[in-house]
């Protein structure tokens, strides 16, 4: 990633290479022209005046009107970054933060990381010269922990506020309190058309500014029958469009839910087109189709690959297959056809059974309309919805439920407690989370020892809040320091914070699977990850070695960087980093400590039952646990994937005694003595009323929740 062409000054442009459309597209002059043509540019001075006159402004505009890329530049040009202060711009997604920072740096003709930078978890690309800083909303939230007044910012832009991501919603409350203390701080909230009134009201009738925009009509085409396989339907639809219209008619944007179905769609379109072309020409054609460029976009994709979606593809039709990041965050110009699968991945929390999972769920009507609208930016377009009109009206919510009302809040509540917000219910939420979610999340924090009986942060809780990790991982890390194996857990936690490290190319699945088994530690996927890292280290962190072993070099590199940062943080917090040598049980005990609430017991052939809620689970087929014949009686797991099966992912065998020890609040042990020497042990969930009793003892209901 970097700036493609850097002018030395406005009048001193570098010579352009002839006949290179790419160079033309990225030349400084051209970019300035494009900038000036954006709707936001037309209203620049009015907008700036409104911002000067008000502390909070809500800016509304069609997607692609220039809110994200232009606003921060306007403010910089207007002097908001004088005397060393920053304009900060938050994004709900990492990919967007990196991508827009890259774009803005290019528009300003500066190197990314200097005047324009970005910061995402475990990656800070800013410097002392930075004036415009793009970051995830999670980063700004963490910054409030160390700098309560956010002194270094003169202005904060909360971008994509309509997405209602958890961190954005929490920041709203924090900033609302902060604005009265810092009268000089400006807050700009940008939103697509939905939700804007709410934001104005929340900030005491803040003025709204609408960027006038132009869009073209989009014809919506519904599926006549319910679709059983949306990937297959999308492939068929994309090929139909491509084969029946000239390439110059426009590009195709396909909405899918995540990496897996995106990759399947990309591969499927290629395959199908090759088939058709081979039949047409009567011979076997092995190369790629020449008139099409298919580009995936999802968060785990490396930044340089993501950037490709913006590059022009002369004489080829571009097909972008994306997650809902392309709904509002990123605008691909030239799209005339949208194909919408009707689903997205959602984090969902069920407080009754304390279950957090990633689910594929129908999108909302608002999302569906936003997706369709992407086809009408450059001319009239078409949106193919891979669902029936009935299901649009019957199955979809009008608006997406804000994340704060449907996810586990233990991490968020830990931060709020750390910030001194004791009465959670009195915190100003735009939409308050359901009380039951607050209760169970507080309860979870209590069970892992982050809160005391009165709902105050414990020492452990305070330490946990300092780590940018989910509570189970920060707990694991802190316990490991006492158990003498923090070197090992540090590696495991870092490996859990990166995308898939094993690489499984389609043509070489068998070979790569075999290779993977060589790293297996049969009692634990966590130890398997540790093993991969240790061997990589022993091979001098070599990329060549990764390729040979079907490992993603970039993921490992990232894990190494995360490890370095967590290591520094541990030193700073005076948490000892020690190694247990080859005492793997010590490591597994810590893993058990972190996930004691996510334990399961073998209940049949490769089937497990969750100990706390009785849910039937299966170990994911890629697990190292299958490498050793019999499956262990008790396991803890990192995450639960709800697809067609309920799979648990990244699993470790544990001793029931450890579960008793670390999960003493949840579990009872029953010993059945069969004769003098042998007895069997069974772990059970404590009876429900005893847990209720504990909650009462915890006095949450009385002291914390009610005012
Ligand atoms: P908004 O935030 O209002 O949706 P943006 O500021 O993101 O709009 O986009 C404004 C314009 O800049 C759009 O036409 C978009 O296509 C273009 N753009 C944004 N990022 C890039 C990029 N990395 N490369 C090329 N064009 C881009
Ligand atoms: Mg935007």
pLDDT digits (tens, 9 = 90+) for 91-131: 999 889 999 999 999 999 999 999 999 999 999 999 999 99
In 3D space, the residue among 47, 54, 49 whose CA is nearest the CA of residue 179 turns out to be 54
- For 311, phi and psi rounded to 5 degrees? -75, 135
pLDDT at residue 397 tops 60? yes
Give me the pLDDT at residue 265, please. 97
0.80 cut: is pTM over it? yes
Mean pLDDT calculated for residue range 244-249: 93
Outline where 483-626 has alpha helix (H).
486-496, 509-517, 525-538, 543-548, 553-572, 584-594
According to DSSP, the β-strands at 343-350 and 292-297 are: unpaired
**Dist CA 108 CA 89 (whole Å):** 16
pLDDT at residue 413 tops 50? yes
Summarised one tens digit per residue, pLDDT across range 277-286 is 888 877 666 6
| Closest residue to atom 10 of ligand 1, CA basis | 66
| Closest residue to atom 7 of ligand 1, CA basis | 68
**Dist CA 446 CA 452 (whole Å):** 6
Closest ligand 1 atom to 330 CA = 7
Closest ligand 1 atom to 211 CA = 3
Beta bridge partners of 56: 187
In 3D space, the residue among 664, 665, 617, 660 whose CA is nearest the CA of residue 641 turns out to be 617
Closest ligand 1 atom to 61 CA = 3
Residue 64 Cβ < 6 Å to ligand 1: yes
Predicted-assembly ipTM surpassing the 0.85 threshold: yes
User: CA torsion sign, 422 to 423 to 427 to 432?
Assistant: positive
Mean pLDDT calculated for residue range 614-623: 90
Q: Which residue has the tokens 């807050």?
A: 187
Residue 333 Cβ < 6 Å to ligand 1: yes
**Residue 515, burial from CB neighbour count under 10 angstroms (0-12, 13-18, 19+):** middle
| Ligand at shortest distance from the CA of 25 | 1
Residue 213 Cβ < 6 Å to ligand 1: no
According to DSSP, the β-strands at 132-136 and 116-120 are: parallel
Give me the pLDDT at residue 509, please. 87
Summarised one tens digit per residue, pLDDT across range 543-562 is 999 999 999 999 999 999 99
- pLDDT confidence of 486, banded at 50, 70, 90? very high
Spell out which residues have Cβ within 5 A of ligand 2, the ion.
67-68
**Residue 224, burial from CB neighbour count under 10 angstroms (0-12, 13-18, 19+):** exposed
Distance 18 CA to ligand 2 centre (A): 33
Distance 327 CA to ligand 2 centre (A): 10
Distance 266 CA to ligand 1 centre (A): 24
Q: Which residue has the tokens 């902060």?
A: 178
In 3D space, the residue among 688, 691, 671, 689 whose CA is nearest the CA of residue 680 turns out to be 671
Q: How far apart are the first and last CA of the chain?
A: 51
In 3D space, the residue among 403, 315, 399 whose CA is nearest the CA of residue 364 turns out to be 399
Residue 423 Cβ < 6 Å to ligand 1: no
Distance 559 CA to ligand 2 centre (A): 30
Residue 407 Cβ < 6 Å to ligand 1: no
Q: Structure tokens of 577?
A: 């980093």
Residue 310 Cβ < 6 Å to ligand 1: yes
Question: How much of the chain is helix, strand and coil, in % rounded to 5?
Answer: 45, 20, 35
**Dist CA 198 CA 233 (whole Å):** 37
Distance 129 CA to ligand 1 centre (A): 24
Summarised one tens digit per residue, pLDDT across range 35-47 is 999 999 999 999 9
- pLDDT confidence of 191, banded at 50, 70, 90? confident
Q: Which of 173-182, 418-427, 490-499 has the lowest mean pLDDT?
A: 418-427
Give me the pLDDT at residue 268, please. 95
pLDDT at residue 660 tops 60? yes
Q: Structure tokens of 175?
A: 């900033």
Q: Are 77 and 46 in contact (CB under 8 A)?
A: no
Beta strands (DSSP E) in 115-185 are 116-120, 123-125, 132-136, 153-158
Summarised one tens digit per residue, pLDDT across range 349-383 is 877 666 777 788 999 999 999 999 999 988 899 99
Query: What is the 8-class DSSP label of residue 451?
Result: B
Distance 192 CA to ligand 2 centre (A): 8
Q: Are 490 and 590 in contact (CB under 8 A)?
A: no
Summarised one tens digit per residue, pLDDT across range 84-102 is 999 999 999 988 999 999 9
Residue 373 Cβ < 6 Å to ligand 1: no
DSSP string, 244-294: HS-GGG-EEEEE-SSHHHHHHHHHHHHHHHHHHHHHHHTS---S--TTEEE
Distance 135 CA to ligand 2 centre (A): 13
Q: Are 172 and 430 in contact (CB under 8 A)?
A: yes
Testing ligand 1's pocket by substitution, the residue of 66, 210, 311 carrying the most ligand atoms inside 8 A of its CB is 66
User: CA torsion sign, 18 to 21 to 25 to 26?
Assistant: negative
Q: Structure tokens of 206?
A: 């803040």
Q: Are 610 and 572 in contact (CB under 8 A)?
A: no
Closest ligand 1 atom to 69 CA = 6
């Amino acid at each position: 990633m970097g700036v493609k062409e850097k002018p030395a000054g406005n009048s001193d442009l570098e010579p352009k290479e002839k006949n290179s459309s790419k160079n033309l597209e990225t030349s400084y002059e051209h970019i300035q022209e494009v900038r000036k043509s954006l709707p936001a540019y037309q209203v620049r001075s009015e907008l700036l005046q409104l911002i000067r006159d008000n502390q909070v402004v809500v800016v509304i505009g069609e997607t692609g009107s220039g809110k994200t890329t232009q606003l921060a530049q306007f403010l910089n040009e207007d002097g908001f970054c004088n005397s060393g202060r920053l304009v900060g711009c938050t994004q709900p997604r990492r990919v967007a933060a990196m991508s827009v920072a890259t774009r803005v740096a290019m528009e300003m003709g500066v190197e990314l990381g200097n005047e324009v930078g970005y910061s995402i978890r475990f990656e800070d690309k800013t410097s002392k010269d930075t004036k415009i800083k793009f970051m995830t909303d999670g980063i700004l939230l963490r910054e409030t922990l160390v700098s309560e007044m956010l002194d270094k910012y003169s202005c904060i832009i909360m971008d994509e506020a309509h997405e209602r991501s958890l961190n954005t919603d929490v920041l709203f409350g924090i900033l609302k309190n902060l604005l009265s203390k810092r009268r000089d701080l400006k807050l700009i909230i940008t939103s697509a058309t939905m939700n804007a009134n709410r934001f104005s009201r929340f900030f005491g009738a803040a003025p709204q500014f609408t960027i006038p925009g132009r869009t073209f009509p989009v014809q919506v085409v519904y599926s006549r029958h319910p679709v059983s396989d949306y990937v297959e339907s999308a492939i068929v639809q994309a090929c139909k469009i491509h084969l029946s219209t000239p390439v110059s008619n426009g590009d195709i944007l396909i909405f899918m839910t995540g990496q897996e179905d995106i990759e399947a769609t990309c591969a499927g379109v290629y395959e199908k087109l090759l088939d058709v072309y081979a039949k047409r020409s009567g011979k076997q054609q092995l190369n790629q189709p020449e008139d099409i460029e298919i580009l995936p976009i999802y968060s785990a994709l490396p930044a340089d690959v993501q950037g490709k979606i913006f590059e022009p593809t002369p004489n080829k039709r571009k097909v972008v297959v994306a997650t809902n990041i392309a709904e509002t965050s990123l605008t691909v110009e030239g799209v005339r056809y949208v194909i919408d699968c009707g689903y997205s991945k959602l984090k969902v929390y069920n407080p009754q059974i304390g279950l957090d999972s990633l689910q594929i769920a129908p999108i909302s009507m608002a999302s569906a309309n936003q997706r369709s609208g992407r086809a009408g930016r450059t001319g009239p377009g078409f949106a193919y919805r891979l669902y029936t009109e009935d299901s649009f009206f019957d199955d979809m919510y009008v608006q997406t439920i804000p994340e704060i009302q449907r996810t586990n809040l233990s991490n968020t509540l830990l931060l709020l407690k750390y910030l001194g917000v004791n009465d959670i219910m009195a915190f100003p939420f735009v939409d308050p989370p359901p009380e039951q979610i607050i209760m169970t999340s507080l309860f979870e924090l209590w069970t892992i020892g982050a809160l005391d009986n009165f709902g105050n942060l414990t020492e452990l809780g305070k330490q946990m809040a300092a780590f940018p990790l989910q509570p189970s991982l920060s707990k694991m890390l802190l316990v490991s320091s006492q158990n003498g194996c923090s070197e090992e857990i540090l590696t495991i936690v870092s490996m859990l914070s990166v995308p898939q490290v094993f690489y499984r190319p389609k043509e070489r699945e068998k070979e790569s699977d075999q290779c993977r088994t060589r790293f297996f530690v049969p009692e634990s996927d966590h130890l398997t990850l540790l093993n991969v890292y240790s061997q990589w280290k022993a091979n001098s962190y070599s990329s060549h070695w990764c390729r040979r072993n079907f490992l993603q070099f970039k993921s490992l590199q990232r894990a190494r960087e995360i490890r370095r940062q967590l290591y520094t943080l541990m030193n700073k917090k005076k948490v000892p980093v020690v190694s247990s040598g080859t005492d793997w049980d010590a490591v597994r005990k810590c893993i058990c400590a972190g996930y004691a609430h996510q334990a399961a017991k073998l209940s049949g052939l490769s089937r497990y039952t969750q100990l706390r809620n009785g849910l039937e689970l299966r170990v994911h087929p890629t697990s190292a646990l299958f490498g050793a014949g019999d499956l262990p009686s008790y396991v803890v797991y990192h995450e639960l994937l709800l697809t067609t099966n309920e799979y648990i992912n990244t699993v470790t065998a544990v001793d029931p005694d450890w579960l008793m020890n670390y999960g003493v609040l949840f579990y009872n042990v029953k010993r059945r003595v069969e004769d003098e020497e042998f007895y069997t042990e069974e772990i059970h969930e404590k009876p429900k009323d005893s847990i209720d009793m504990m909650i009462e003892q915890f006095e949450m209901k009385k002291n914390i929740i009610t005012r």
